[in-house]
Amino acid sequence: MAVDLSPIDESLLAEIANIHGMPKGAFNIRKDGQLVERHSSANIEIATKTDNPGIDIRIKAGTKGETVYIPVIVTQAGLKDVVYNTFYIEDDCDVTIIAGCGIHNESHQASEHDGIHTFYCGKNSHVKYVEKHYGEGAGTGERILNPVTNVVMEENSSCEMELTQLRGVSSTVRDTNAELGAGAKLVLTEKLLTHDDQVATSNMKVELKGDDSSVQVISRSVAQDNSKQVFNPLVIGEAACRGHVQCDAIIMGKAKVTAIPGIEAASEDALLVHEAAIGKIAGDQIIKLMTLGLTEEEAEQEILEDFLN
């Protein structure tokens, strides 16, 4: 092990990746820009990049039922960590990838992690990608996370992406880009929680290039206190395809949410739909839960948890 893990480190890993101790199979754990520990498996090879900081993950054709973990934790004040991770998933795979970043900041200096992840999904492969972001610490320094996710999907591949921001992230700009070939299917779910004076911007661009390709974009967010969120999804249909964009947000306090869903049809056979709903928690929802014995605060928290889960 190149870097020892403290109780704070272990708590962050549990929060973002549900890791308790070192996982089995293929994994790469990174702390403050340094490798903690890495393992490859018979079907999944993890190697250090030669041109940029980061790793290449190569998953052999036909690999099924395996999970690879690539979490990052940051506890060093003033650190700006940038990493480029590229996933090469060959044909006929069915795998799960667990990522995410947790920042613990007790200082007045900003701590930042920018993860640029690129996925190449081979023909007939299915990928589930789970990414969680989280910040904590009593310091006044910002906790900044700016993820970039690029997805290239070949014929009849499918991908489920669950992108979640839990709590404590001061600011984030999230960029997600996808290109889908014939028969490819993408389900992209993003869940955001902001509070205090936090700011979150989410930009998405999905290009449906092949016949019978489809995407479902689901945004569920809660904005509390004085926080601000902007959601900018764009789906472009270039073939006989289907796309659906859905934005649901809850506002609390003086928070602000702006949703600007966009759809562009470059083919007469493209079927694209977008929806947006933004509002506050209804009082009757809280009253109904309070009749079951919950306090107002407990009822409100129950509603938020149900909304984001």
Q: What is the pLDDT of residues 163-197, one digit of tens each?
A: 999 999 999 999 999 999 999 999 999 999 999 99
Asked if the model's pLDDT at residue 285 lies above 80, the reply is no
pLDDT at 293: 84
pLDDT tens for 217-272 read 999 999 999 999 999 999 999 999 999 999 999 999 999 999 998 999 999 999 99
Band (104; pLDDT cuts 50, 70, 90): very high
pLDDT at 137: 95
Band (117; pLDDT cuts 50, 70, 90): very high
Nearest to 165 by CA among 143, 150, 186, 185: 143
- Say which residues have a Cβ less than 8 Å from residue 115's Cβ, sequence separation at least 6: 72, 82, 83, 85, 99, 101, 145, 147, 148
Asked if the model's pLDDT at residue 303 lies above 70, the reply is yes
Alpha helices (runs of H) in 182-238, residue ranges in sequence order: none
Tokens 């079907």 map to which residue?
43
pLDDT at 300: 85
pLDDT at 2: 52
CA atoms within 13 A on the CB side of 229: 31
* N-to-C CA span, the chain: 35
Mean pLDDT of the chain: 94
Mean pLDDT over 290-306 rounds to 84
pLDDT at 1: 41
246: β partners? 218, 275
Statement: the pTM of the whole predicted model exceeds 0.75:
yes
Higher pLDDT, 289 or 127: 127
Lowest mean pLDDT segment, chosen from 73-77, 141-145, 183-187, 297-301: 297-301
Mean pLDDT over 30-53 rounds to 96
Amino acid occupying residue 250: I
| Percentage of the residues of the chain whose pLDDT score is greater than 70 | 99
According to DSSP, residue 107 is labeled: S
The residue extents of the domains of the chain are: 7-282
Asked if the model's pLDDT at residue 297 lies above 60, the reply is yes
Helix (H, G, I), strand (E, B) or coil at 295: coil
Q: What is d(CA 219, CA 275) in angstroms, rounded to the nearest whole number?
A: 10
Alpha-carbon separation of residue 291 from 155, 197, 252, 295, 306 (angstroms): 52, 33, 22, 9, 18
Nearest to 29 by CA among 84, 73, 95: 73
pLDDT tens for 59-94 read 999 999 999 999 999 999 999 999 999 999 999 999
Give yes or no for a contact between 200 and 193, defined as CB atoms under 8 angstroms apart: no
